[in-house]
């Protein structure tokens, strides 16, 4: 950030929806709320600390944006291992034994598989970043999600549908090391994104999963 300011180079960096923690203050990207957020893990905290630092700087690049990425999925995430998306893991499990596994809920207010996130296809993420690079609207920190929360079970069912296989889902215990730091709900408030002119609708979950599964995973297409 300092180098970009010094040399007057535009900068776009990655923040995260993990900054919102349990969502005690909602999911608005209003900069007034950022200092109040309570992330659940070191990853989310590191992103939020940088967001807070950026907002205090007086010496800034000519244009800058921090994107709070929500649950991004899509081609070329094979290198992420355990942290790859449910679509990626479901596809591989289905190919192996015609079944996929989802985490059980460990909260009484959520049924198994109904933990809910704002899933966004990587193609929509790339298109949004390109739009910001080309148009350079108001600098700031923006949510980057679809604005619609969907349950994990819908993601798994869409994967089966893309493969034209009847759903077969097993629920397993969530690992202890992430159980207390797990977000059960996220949904991006994208009103600020729309106000600066990025009004094109994002793909639906089902369309995104079908494209990912049929055009990339099933064809083992990577680059």
The stretches of 25-137 forming alpha helices (DSSP H) are 42-56, 86-97, 122-135
Q: Is 121 one of the catalytic residues? A: no
13 beta partners: 66
The stretches of 70-175 forming alpha helices (DSSP H) are 86-97, 122-135, 152-162
Three-state DSSP state, 100: strand
Per the residue annotation, which of 6, 13, 27, 43 is the catalytic one? Answer: 43
Q: Is 43 one of the catalytic residues? A: yes
Cα torsion 179, 98, 154, 187: sign: positive
| Cα 142 to Cα 85: distance, rounded to the nearest angstrom | 22
CA quadruple 101, 121, 118, 111: dihedral, nearest 10? -20
Per the residue annotation, which of 6, 80, 111, 200 is the catalytic one? Answer: 80
The stretches of the chain forming alpha helices (DSSP H) are 2-7, 42-56, 86-97, 122-135, 152-162, 176-179, 191-195, 205-212
| Cα 190 to Cα 174: distance, rounded to the nearest angstrom | 30
Alpha-carbon distances, residue 47 vs 18, 80, 81, 130, 167 (angstroms): 8, 19, 21, 22, 36
The set of catalytic residues is 43, 80
């Amino acid at each position: 950030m300092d180098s970009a300011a010094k040399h007057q180079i535009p900068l776009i960096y990655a923040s995260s929806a993990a900054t919102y923690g349990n969502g005690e203050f909602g999911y608005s990207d209003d900069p007034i709320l950022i200092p109040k957020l309570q992330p659940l893990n070191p990853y989310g905290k590191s992103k939020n600390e940088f967001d807070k630092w950026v907002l205090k700087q007086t010496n800034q690049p000519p244009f800058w944006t921090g994107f709070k990425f929500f649950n991004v999925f899509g081609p070329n995430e094979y290198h992420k291992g355990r942290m790859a998306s449910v679509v990626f893991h479901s596809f591989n499990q289905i190919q192996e034994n015609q079944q996929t596994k989802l985490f059980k809920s460990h909260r009484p207010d959520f049924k198994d598989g109904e933990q809910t996130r704002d899933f966004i296809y990587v193609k929509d993420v790339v298109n949004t970043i390109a739009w910001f690079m080309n148009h350079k609207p108001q600098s700031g920190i923006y949510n980057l999600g679809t604005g619609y929360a969907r349950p994990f079970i819908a993601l798994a069912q869409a994967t089966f549908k893309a493969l034209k296989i009847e759903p077969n889902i097993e629920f397993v215990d969530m690992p202890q090391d992430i159980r207390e730091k797990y977000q059960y709900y996220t949904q991006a408030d994208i009103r600020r994104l729309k106000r600066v002119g990025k009004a094109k609708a994002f793909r639906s979950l089902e369309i995104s999963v079908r494209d990912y599964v049929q055009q990339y995973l099933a064809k083992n297409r990577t680059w």
